Amino acid sequence: MRKTTLLAAAALLGSPGLTLAQNTPEENNDNVDAPFVRNIRADRPGQTITAQVLRAGRFQLEAGTQRVAPALGESMLNSGATLRIGFFNSMELRVSQPHFSGYQQRISTGEGERFETVAGWAPLVVGSKFMISPNYDTRTQVAIMVETPLPGTGSKELAVKGLAPSGRLLVSQQLGERYGLEANFGFSQPGMTVADIEKGQFIGTLALNGPISSTTGFFIEGYGIGRGELSTGTTAGLYWRPLPLLRLDVNAGRVLGGAAGGTATVGAGLAFKLGK
């Protein structure tokens, strides 16, 4: 009798433990089906990059074009694409390459400095995102991103001689079921030496995005870039999702302060995801 009672008690106490042990963090997460989690999120447009890290086996291609019109001087057209690949261990690999048309390049000569208009492919930029938050669907998502352009890639006129690393802390906070705040804080430098650190620039951004309807939404951000003199600006845009894994956007922005104050931007792009 005593043996039977002990076995029955063990069965009753053990069953819930076994059931919970079989559940994954996602299955126990009531946020897993929130539209902010399930809808496609892009690292474009603007300066803000989302803290979302793609799951292993997922691919996301983002491409766009933007016209930059400074207060003084000629306009420039920027185009480019970013391929994001989800890997195991909560990591995402990234490959980007911009194309500039009408880029004003500063050239140092024995008589001083002059500007020359060039066009071509900028260096290939490679990087990774590393997820810090406990799982993919938590309401607060945190990640670290590191990137650098690769020497010897791109057009000869725009090539770099060495690595120029940059890093960002990415934070995303879900508001309700659909809205979200995205914040970035980072630093970039033009090389790998101690002297290059002194030439580095900080960046800080804060963006709000959310729905207008079931397939349309908005994006607005403010940002600051610089070190001694800070360039500040804002970008706003609208997006449309004709398919769950396809997002199209139009955007416009303006540099409000700093050396490039008065510069206006207008652009459009898309983001497309493969994988469940």
| Residues 182-221: tens digit of each pLDDT | 999 999 999 999 999 999 999 999 999 999 999 999 999 9
**134 vs 256, more confident:** 256
d(CA 116, CA 34): 50
d(CA 68, CA 102): 10
Strand ranges, E, within the chain: 59-69, 76-87, 91-109, 112-121, 125-131, 140-149, 166-175, 179-188, 201-211, 216-226, 230-243, 246-257, 264-274
Q: For the chain, what percent of residues have pLDDT higher than 90?
A: 66
d(CA 114, CA 260): 17
pLDDT at 251: 97
At 54, give phi and psi (nearest 5°): -65, 145
Q: How many whole angstroms from its chain centre is CA 224? A: 16
Partnered with residue 76 across adjacent β-strands are 68
- Average pLDDT score over the chain: 86
The closest of 125, 134, 54 to 88, measured between CA atoms, is 54
pTM of this prediction?
A: 0.84
Partnered with residue 67 across adjacent β-strands are 77, 266
Residue 222: both structure tokens together? 């403010």
Strands 112-121 and 59-69: unpaired
Partnered with residue 47 across adjacent β-strands are none
Q: With a cut of 60, say whether residue 18 has pLDDT above it.
A: no
pLDDT at 162: 92
Q: Helical H runs in 29-188?
A: 35-38
**233 vs 1, more confident:** 233
- Count of beta carbons in the 10 Å neighbourhood of residue 108: 8
Q: With a cut of 80, say whether residue 94 has pLDDT above it.
A: yes
Question: Which residue carries 């019109």 as its tokens?
Answer: 69
CB 130, CB 10: distance < 8 Å: no
Amino acid occupying residue 48: T
Q: What 8-state DSSP symbol labels residue 275?
A: -
Cα dist from 202 to 49, 68, 127, whole Å: 15, 22, 18
